[in-house]
Amino acid sequence: MGLDNHTVVTHFILLGIPNTDGFQTILFFTFFIFYFFTLLGNLLIFSAIVADSCLHTPMYFFLCNLAVLDVGISSISIPKLLANLWAQNRTISLGGCMAQLFFYHFLASTESLLYTVMAFDRYVAICHPLRYLLIMNWRVCSLLAAGTWFCSSFHATILASLTFTLPYCGSNVVDYFFCDIFPVAELACADTYVLETVTFINIGVVPMTCFVLILASYVRIMYSVLRMSSGEGRRKAVSTCSSHLVVVTMFFGPCALVYTQPQLSKVLVTPVDIFGNLVTPMLNPLIYTLRNKEVKAALRKLRGAERPER
C-alpha cells in the first residue's frame, strides 16, 4: 500500500505507564516528590561547589557536570509524565517527541562518558598522586568535559535523525511514557533494520566500552590501594572511590537491562527506566554528600550555618 493512502503523523499520544489505572493520583505525588528532591539536591550540590573555592578541583568540577546532567535527564520525561498522570494530557507534538528522544540519548550518553572520565580522574589521583595536578590540569579537565558533551551530541544526532527520517503514516500511539527509540520505531511504516543496528552499536557497544574502561581503572586502583602501607591512605582511597562505584552501578545496571534486552517484559522495562530517569538522579547527590565532609561544609556555608570569624 502506498504512503499516499496514509495520514502523515504530526503528533504522538503517550500511553504512559501500563496497568496504573486508579493509581494516577498516588503516582503523581510520588513522582512529583522524587522530582522535586532531584532538582533540589542537584542544584544545591552545583551551587555549593561553584560558591566554595575550596571545591574548585577536578573531582568537583566533574561532579558539577554530573549534577547538571541529572537535572536534565529527569526533566526530559518526568514533567510530561506528571502532566499525563494529573490532567491526562497524553498528546506530544512531533517536535516534542524528537526533542525528548534527542536530549534523552544526548544526556544519557554524556553521563556514561562522564563516569568514565571520573574513573580516570580517580585513577590518576590514587595511582599517580604526585603528578595529579600536572596531569589533571584545568585545560585537560575542560577538554575532557567538553569532549563528553560534544561526542554525545553527535551520537544523539545520529539516533534522532535515523529515527525520524523513517516515515510515520499509521498509528501515532506510543506504548510508553516518553518518546524512546524502540517504542517510536515500532510505529514506522518502513523497515527499521538500519536503525536497530546503529542503535545496538551506539547504545550497546559504547556504554559497554565505557564500563570496561571504568572496570580497568578500578582494577588498577585496587592494585595500588593494596600496595599502600598506610591504613589511613587505604581508607581515604576507598572512601573517595566508593561513591563513584555506587552511582556507576546504578547507572549501567538499568541501561544494560533495557537496551541489551529490548524484548524484556514491559512490566520490568518501565520500572527500570523510571529508576534511571528519576531515582538515580535523586540519589546521586545523597551518595556524594553522605560521607563527604568537604561538600557538607560547603552546603553549610551556602545556607549561612557557618559564619566567618571576626
> In the predicted model, is pLDDT for residue 267 greater than 60?
no
Closest CA to 274 of 99, 78, 111: 78
> In the predicted model, is pLDDT for residue 289 greater than 70?
yes
Instruction: Say what percent of the chain tops pLDDT 70.
Output: 89
Q: Any residues with CB less than 8 A from the CB of 301 and at least 6 apart, and which?
A: 48, 51, 52
Residue 55 is given by DSSP the state G
Query: Average per-residue pLDDT in the chain?
Result: 86
> In the predicted model, is pLDDT for residue 79 greater than 80?
yes
Among 9-23, 225-239, 261-275, where is mean pLDDT lowest?
Answer: 261-275
Pair 209, 202: CB distance under 8 Å: no
User: Which superfamily is assigned to 8-302 in CATH?
Assistant: Rhodopsin 7-helix transmembrane proteins (1.20.1070.10)
pLDDT in tens, 147-199: 999 999 998 999 999 999 988 887 899 988 999 998 899 898 888 888 888 88
Cell numbers of 238, please? 576507598
Residue 133 phi/psi, 5-degree rounding, is -70, -25
What residue ranges do the domains of the chain occupy? Answer: 8-302
Closest CA to 122 of 186, 71, 202, 59: 59
Greatest CA separation for the chain: 82
The reported pLDDT for the residue numbered 99 is: 95
> In the predicted model, is pLDDT for residue 225 greater than 60?
yes
Amino acid at 41: G
CA dihedral sign, ordered 120, 125, 131, 136: positive
Amino acid at 203: I
User: What mean pLDDT is predicted for residues 65-90?
Assistant: 92
**Alpha-helical segments (H) within 166-205:** 181-185, 193-199
Q: Residue 176, SS3?
A: coil
Cell numbers of 169, please? 503514516
The reported pLDDT for the residue numbered 71 is: 96
Cell 528519576 sits on residue: 278
d(CA 235, CA 37): 30
Residue 82 is given by DSSP the state H
Among 9-18, 90-99, 255-264, 294-303, where is mean pLDDT lowest?
Answer: 255-264
> In the predicted model, is pLDDT for residue 109 greater than 50?
yes
Cα-atom radius of gyration of the chain, to the nearest Å? Answer: 22
Sheet holding 173-174, edge to edge: 91-93, 11-14, 173-174
> In the predicted model, is pLDDT for residue 1 greater than 60?
no
d(CA 264, CA 277): 18
pTM for this predicted structure: 0.89
